[in-house]
């Protein structure tokens, strides 16, 4: 089965970020395909490279990055939601006159069209969070 994953909640504030990660990891281990993981609303906070949890806590951003590296996952961050939360990649920083970036390099910023395409291409769109 081919899944698209949508994550609407940020890390460390809601269980849905962890649930989405574990679902995705289990689906991949069972041989399913993940067409795309789309981070929306507060879910974009799962992509910040500035996250520094305590050493004895899980590092959700790194977990996603490592899973993406292992399975060549497409991790997409909604551009509008990211900009509202002060998150930019190199292109958006330049375009908006910002002097720094904070998106982890394994993630990419794009628009809602990427979510629509994922929903069309996948057999199922699974949404985590409100």
Sequence ranges of the domains in the chain: 2-128
Q: What is the pLDDT of residue 14?
A: 86
Which is catalytic among the residues 5, 68, 75, 78?
A: 78
> What tens digit of pLDDT does each residue of 9-50 get?
999 888 999 999 999 999 999 999 999 999 999 999 999 999
> What tens digit of pLDDT does each residue of 81-125 get?
999 999 999 999 999 999 999 999 999 999 999 999 999 999 999
Superfamily of domain 2-128: DsrEFH-like (3.40.1260.10)
78 in catalytic set:
yes
Asked if 61 contacts 46 with a C-beta cutoff of 8 angstroms, the reply is yes
Q: What is the pLDDT of residue 13?
A: 86
DSSP-derived pairing of the beta strands 107-110 and 124-128? unpaired
Asked if 34 contacts 27 with a C-beta cutoff of 8 angstroms, the reply is yes
Q: Which residues contact 5 (CB under 8 A, 6 or more apart)?
A: 20, 23, 24, 34, 36, 37, 38, 125, 126, 128
């Amino acid at each position: 089965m081919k899944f698209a994953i949508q994550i609407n909640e940020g890390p460390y504030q809601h269980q849905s970020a962890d649930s989405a990660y574990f679902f995705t990891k289990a689906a991949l281990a069972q041989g399913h395909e993940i067409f795309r993981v789309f981070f929306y609303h507060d879910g974009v906070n799962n992509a910040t490279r500035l996250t520094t949890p305590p050493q004895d806590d899980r590092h959700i951003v790194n977990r996603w990055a490592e899973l993406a590296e292992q399975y060549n996952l497409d991790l997409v961050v909604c551009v509008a939601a990211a900009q509202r939360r002060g998150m930019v990649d190199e292109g958006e920083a330049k375009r908006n006159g910002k002097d720094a970036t904070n998106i982890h390099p394994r993630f990419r910023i794009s628009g809602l069209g990427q979510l629509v395409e994922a929903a069309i291409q996948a057999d199922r769109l699974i949404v985590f969070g409100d």
